[in-house]
Structure 1
Amino acid sequence: MAETRSALIVDDERDIRELLVMTLGRMGLRCDTAASVGEARSQLQRNRYDLCLTDMRLPDGSGIEIVSDISQKYPETPVAMITAFGNVEAAVEALKAGAFDFVAKPVDLNVLRDLVRHALDLQEARKADTDAVASRLYGQSPAMTSLRQTIAKVARSQAPVYIAGESGVGKELVARTIHAEGARASGPFVPVNCGAIPSELMESEFFGHKKGSFTGAHADKPGLFQSADGGTLFLDEVAELPLPMQVKLLRAIQEKSVRAVGANSENPVDVRILSATHKDLSKLVAEGRFRQDLYYRINVIELRVPPLRERLDDLPGLSAKILGRLAEAQGRPVPTLDDGAVEALREYPFPGNVRELENILERALALADGELLTAEDLHLPRREEDSRAGVDPRNLDPRDTATSALPSYIEEIERAAIQHALQENRYNKTRTAQALGITFRALRYKLKKLGID
């Protein structure tokens, strides 16, 4: 039997509370009520709710206080504000504080029912996505706590979000979480790696094309914008867009419409734009390599995802989450890390961040004999040898991989350079070989020789 969903109704007017309880009760919700901020806080501490409706004016304070409390302490619970008719300022204030939506008095029951259904759909989407993101957005450090709180707030907005962070920190996961926790959760999430599309195909990929518009266009094809209509378009590595495409992208975002290659007219699209890059976009703007007007358009809200070295206290719990997920997928007992392994991870700088940690743990799980993983099982680069050689391979440009004449160190330097290049190019081996200045065949040989999966 499905669990009955619940709602908390906060209003100091008894007749309003009774009307809301009756309306939501007919929709199958169990309702608790509160007549003040204090009563609402007590109820929230004792119970978990799938929805909260609160009046703006209460005897001991403002409904904004309840919105803020729920946004910070119970971000999984959508909260809507009941405002006086025409009080736009109060509605905007509530949305900024983290409210999911608002409804005006006198309450239109049809509007209320739509709001409740939308909120419950949003809540279900969050539940379904929680397990998938838990291990990667896991963390009790101040940096991760702040990140999750910010995600919960920006998810309710429709503003463009720019996600900054190093390679491997989980920028796409943050984008997926914003989508899954927002009002567009039921719409499509369309990710695109801007650096992986050949420049001559970009316009067609983004905006689509009509049949016969160019050689090889045998049928009409929708672009990424059309595919994301009603949902979210995630522009990963947006810094890789060439300047001519930046102009066309800016127009599409401003006009909220796109023209397919070969088409005579534009078609409207309803898309929320999320973007990310590991590069310093403001520096590229200063250098003239990224348009300032596009930068301001996509960077309405900026989110910085912290690197793993800034939240080392999360390492033990994060590693346990990742090992649990990997072991479950393989149908085997969940291994644990001994104290030496945890300490080794703490001392390692993780240039590849969470993605690198996942790779290290997956490799250790595959190669270890027992269910207790040691530092040796992790096969971390030998930093003491690198320091004796006077060079840290993680800081080397891949083109400088021959700076050491000592064969025992060259292998470590090559390994680090290739792993770094793979991460930079999102494990596209053709692009990695180009970045390293070697042939694809040579890269394949080195991957096999160095045991890099």
Structure 2
Amino acid sequence: MSENRSALIVDDERDIRELLVLTLGRMGLRIDTAANLGEAREQLSRNTYDLCFTDMRLPDGNGIELVGEISRNFPRTPVAMITAFGNIELAVEALKAGAFDFVSKPVDLTVLRGLVKHALELNNAERAAPTPPPPEQASRLLGSSTAMATLRDTIGKVARSQAPVYIRGESGVGKELVARTIHEQGARAAGPFVPVNCGAIPAELMESEFFGHKKGSFTGAHADKAGLFQAAHGGTLFLDEVAELPLPMQVKLLRAIQEKAVRPVGAAQEVQVDVRILSATHKDLGELASDGRFRHDLYYRINVIELRVPPLRERSSDLPQLISAILDRLAEQHGRNAPSVSPDAMTELRRYAFPGNVRELENILERALAMADGHSIEVEDLYLPQAGAARGGEPGASPGTIVSPVDLDPAGGPLPSYIEQLERAAIQKALEENRWNKTRAAAQLGITFRALRYKLKKLGME
């Protein structure tokens, strides 16, 4: 590390100050110290720091005050909170106030060095530029609407933190892309980004998948295996559809996040892990927590920062830019020139509510590109579901209202048969909207991956 890097340590305990001075000094940093808020403010007025550590309780005030002041006045200075061991509530409060991360007393030097490394990388101008999102995903964060400008601005801010982020939004809005962008714009960009769909892992294999296992720990464990936490070490673990986690696994996940350590199945010792947790779901996680279907303590731990991704119907002004970008990409994939969209077709697209959001827009345009005869996409090429979703411009229609995609009459046969037809139609629609990705189709339908597989087999749709 550069000898020009500097850090400010604010703590009224001399032993803690000396430990941090010694440890950070060996990492090549120049250190200043302060025993209270007044001294810290004086140091900050005279010097610029690459990193700051502050204790929670100081003789003349609360460390949270200092966190807020540094976040507002010195946004390029990451600040980490020193908390008493196990005081997760105060640590979360510090993260919400703008702290980069926190470290518990007694200080674990290995954890401390990792924290310092990531903090300094935030302002490391020599660090390689993050890899841009893949072209097929980039379209989902395009748009000049106020909603998208706010989202991009918020992503830029949360990327500088290590705080857990809960990404909330409907199916198809691009929650995983948002998570990837947070990872790529942050200090962990050089580390792995590990996405996991929590609804696609069988309950009996969850502990092994998340934490790994030792050879012989259960039938079929023929070799040691690292889990998802270990795979994401030094980077980001993205828990998609986190609401699908069963309650027993939620307890174990909470402990792993709090202790920054996991115990592989069959292992005697815990393994330290350094990961940032991002999570997402299309369900209302707060409501699930209120109903007892999701643990309150885990909800508050992963929901330090909540990020809402707006549905497409709330940013219809972005449609022309999105459509142009998607058609350019699809045309390039098919080795042809991108067609234009006729005014009438654009009007129809603007009126449509897009219950499947950007993912559905991509599917509609891909089908239209295949169906269009000339160099322009017409209304008849879109095949927009007339009964599949209410039109945003029709009187009395609520945006995104889902109606039966087929005209079924319950009086035309026995009830089980009628319900079977409804299930078949809903599953068919979800599969088409998700390009036959069963994991995503299950998430859109609000059922588990295993439940979808069962229904496909039962209905003869495999």
Normalising by structure 2, we get a TM-score of 0.67
Equivalent AA in structure 1 for residue 440 of structure 2: R
State the distance in 2 between where 1:98 and 1:361 align: 46
2:127 is equivalent to residue 121 of structure 1 = yes
Shift in Å at residue 399 of structure 1?
12
Among 232, 237, 241, the alignment partner of 1:233 is 237
CA 1:379–1:86 in 2, change beyond 3 Å: closer, same or farther?
A: closer
Residue matched to 1:82: 48
CA 1:100–1:210 in 2, change beyond 3 Å: closer, same or farther?
A: farther
State the distance in 1 between where 2:163 and 2:455 align: 42
CA 1:440–1:368 in 2, change beyond 3 Å: closer, same or farther?
A: farther
2:244 is equivalent to residue 244 of structure 1 = no
Render the CA deviation track for 1:279-298: whole Å, top value 9, x for unaligned: 00011011100000000000
Residue matched to 1:418: 428
> Contact 2:242/2:280 (CA < 8 Å) preserved in 1?
yes
Residue matched to 2:378: 374
Shift in Å at residue 382 of structure 1?
2.0
CA 1:99–1:86 in 2, change beyond 3 Å: closer, same or farther?
A: closer
Superposed, 1:78-227 pairs within 5 Å as 82-83=48-49, 93-95=69-71, 99-101=75-77, 118-121=124-127, 124-125=129-130, 128-129=132-133, 133-227=137-231
> Contact 2:241/2:279 (CA < 8 Å) preserved in 1?
yes
CA 1:85–1:172 in 2, change beyond 3 Å: closer, same or farther?
A: closer
Superposed, 1:386-425 pairs within 5 Å as 395-396=402-403, 403=410, 415=425, 418-420=428-430, 423=434, 425=439
CA 1:334–1:394 in 2, change beyond 3 Å: closer, same or farther?
A: same
State the distance in 2 between where 1:147 and 1:245 align: 31
Equivalent AA in structure 2 for residue 440 of structure 1: K
Identity %: 57
CA 1:376–1:414 in 2, change beyond 3 Å: closer, same or farther?
A: farther
State the distance in 1 between where 2:170 and 2:216 align: 41
Equivalent AA in structure 2 for residue 426 of structure 1: R
Question: SS of the counterpart of 1:344?
Answer: helix
Residue matched to 1:262: 266
Question: SS of the counterpart of 1:250?
Answer: helix
Shift in Å at residue 348 of structure 1?
1.1
Shift in Å at residue 441 of structure 1?
7.0
> Contact 2:169/2:310 (CA < 8 Å) preserved in 1?
yes
CA 1:102–1:159 in 2, change beyond 3 Å: closer, same or farther?
A: closer
How many equivalent pairs are there? 354
> Contact 2:243/2:294 (CA < 8 Å) preserved in 1?
yes
Shift in Å at residue 134 of structure 1?
3.4
Among 282, 289, 297, the alignment partner of 1:285 is 289
> Contact 2:170/2:311 (CA < 8 Å) preserved in 1?
yes
Residue matched to 1:7: none
Aligned CA-pair RMSD? 4.0
Render the CA deviation track for 1:190-221: whole Å, top value 9, x for unaligned: 00000000000000000000000000000000
Please identify which structure carries the higher helix content: 1
Shift in Å at residue 93 of structure 1?
3.9
Equivalent AA in structure 1 for residue 305 of structure 2: I
State the distance in 2 between where 1:442 and 1:365 align: 31
2:450 is equivalent to residue 444 of structure 1 = no
Shift in Å at residue 310 of structure 1?
0.7
Render the CA deviation track for 1:327-382: whole Å, top value 9, x for unaligned: 12222111111111111111111111100000111111122122211111111112
Normalising by structure 1, we get a TM-score of 0.68
Shift in Å at residue 384 of structure 1?
10
Any stretches of 5+ residues in structure 1 without a counterpart?
A: 1-54, 59-80, 104-110, 446-453
Question: SS of the counterpart of 2:440?
Answer: coil
CA 1:304–1:208 in 2, change beyond 3 Å: closer, same or farther?
A: same
CA 1:223–1:266 in 2, change beyond 3 Å: closer, same or farther?
A: same
Any stretches of 5+ residues in structure 2 without a counterpart?
A: 1-42, 55-64, 80-116, 414-419
Render the CA deviation track for 1:244-275: whole Å, top value 9, x for unaligned: 00000000000000000000010100000000
Render the CA deviation track for 1:111-165: whole Å, top value 9, x for unaligned: 9xx769833425x115x33856531100111111100000000001000000000
State the distance in 1 between where 2:251 and 2:423 align: 40
> Contact 2:164/2:278 (CA < 8 Å) preserved in 1?
yes
**Bigger mean CA offset, 92-101 vs 235-244:** 92-101
2:315 is equivalent to residue 298 of structure 1 = no
State the distance in 1 between where 2:242 and 2:388 align: 37
Question: SS of the counterpart of 1:316?
Answer: helix
